[in-house]
A = this chain, B = another copy of it.
Amino acid sequence: MVKDNCKILDCTIRDGGLVNNWEFSVEFVRDLYKGLSEAGVDYMEIGYKNSPKLLQGGNAGPWRFLDEAFLREVIPQKTETKLSALVDIGRVDEHDILPREESMLDLIRVACYVKDVEKGLELVRKFHDKGYETSLNIMALSHVLEHELEEALKEIADSPVDVVYVVDSYGSMDPGDIVKLVAKFRSLVPNKQLGIHTHNNLQLAFANTLAALQEGVTFLDSSVFGMGRAAGNCNTELLVSRVKSTRYEVRPILGVIENHMLAIRDKWEWGYNIPYMINGVFDEHPRTAMALRASDNKDRYLEFYDTLTSPESIVAPKKS
């Protein structure tokens, strides 16, 4: 598949940080940036730009609360690979955001649910005015009513945002679903670039990304070795191998996997497994499967399946 206008955005540090509570060494992040740069990857999402003042978990390491001075130490020399950060509605202090010409960041992505699109666009406008490229990532699209989505997309069309993302938060979609959603986005926001962010609960993250690319989506999220929350994301090494372009080269990504990811994978779990698959089949947030995998019953698949499927397993709380 030859697509010379697409952009690969690697979110290993940002989405992968949801796996290991952002326990990434500076050395690893530097090597990853070097590897992604040599591989021709267009963007590296280096973390969240949330504010520790607005969010519990201030001990989660620097990648969750990116600081410009720190970023300059980590990456003294930028390459052609741009840097991005994600912010969540209500968790970002806009005063923390420098004007782009003083910042290491190029792209700020705002993640929100469909009900918060107005708030999301308010942030987008501020970052846009500071000179950044911007995206709005609408999460949990599989739980959105059609008319809600259509109203949101109309507002987005009138905003200055550069990229609008289709996000399969629960890893429950297949390529046919993606094609239909992308068609709706294209018809309602024809003036924007589109992006895709997938999860691998049904082993469809890569296939869904290819389906989106085929339909004209240009921003493709991925992570090295698939490292991302729960079942993980589309694998950067697959995307770089398969998207034919003179820009991309898989060898440097293989080096990052060999030198770093195997050790991280020994310590932390992500990727396809049965509880995450079950969540994907039921189109549910992975939190129940994540709790199971962190418990002593992590391989009790039948019990887990029965809990999710038996209405009698949920009883009303007793009044005292």
Q: Which residues of A contact B (CB under 8 A)?
A: 1, 174-176, 200, 202-208, 210-211, 214, 235, 237-238, 241-242, 250-251, 254-255, 257-258, 262, 274, 277-278, 281, 299-302, 305
Contacts and interface: CB of A to CB of B under 8 A. Distances in A.
A241 B302 contact: no
B254 A301 contact: yes
A274 B238 CA distance: 10
B242 A254 contact: no
Nearest to A205: B203
B300 A202 contact: no
B299 A274 contact: no
Contacts of A241: 202, 277, 281
A203 B203 contact: yes
Given A1-B176, A203-B238, A277-B241, A299 B210 contact: no
A300 B300 CA distance: 35
Contacts of A238: 202-203, 277
Nearest to A237: B277
Nearest to A259: B302
A254 B214 CA distance: 34
Contact of A206 (B203, B254, B274, B302): B203
B210 A250 contact: no
B302 A274 contact: no
Contacts of A211: 175
Question: Closest 9 A-B residue pairs measured CB to CB?
Answer: A207-B207, A254-B301, A258-B301, A241-B281, A203-B206, A255-B302, A204-B207, A254-B302, A254-B305
Nearest to A174: B210
B254 A274 contact: yes
Contacts of A242: 174, 202, 281
Nearest to A261: B274
A176 B301 CA distance: 34
B202 A204 contact: no
Nearest to A225: B274
A302 B241 CA distance: 14
A161 to B, nearest CB: 30
Interface centre among A202, A203, A206 (most CB of B within 10 A): A203
A235 B280 CA distance: 14
A281 B244 CA distance: 12
A145 to B, nearest CB: 22
Name, among A204, A242, A274, the residue most crowded by chain B CB atoms within 10 Å (CB to CB). A274
Nearest to A271: B272
Contact of A202 (B1, B206, B254, B258): B206
Contacts of A255: 301-302
Contacts of A208: 207
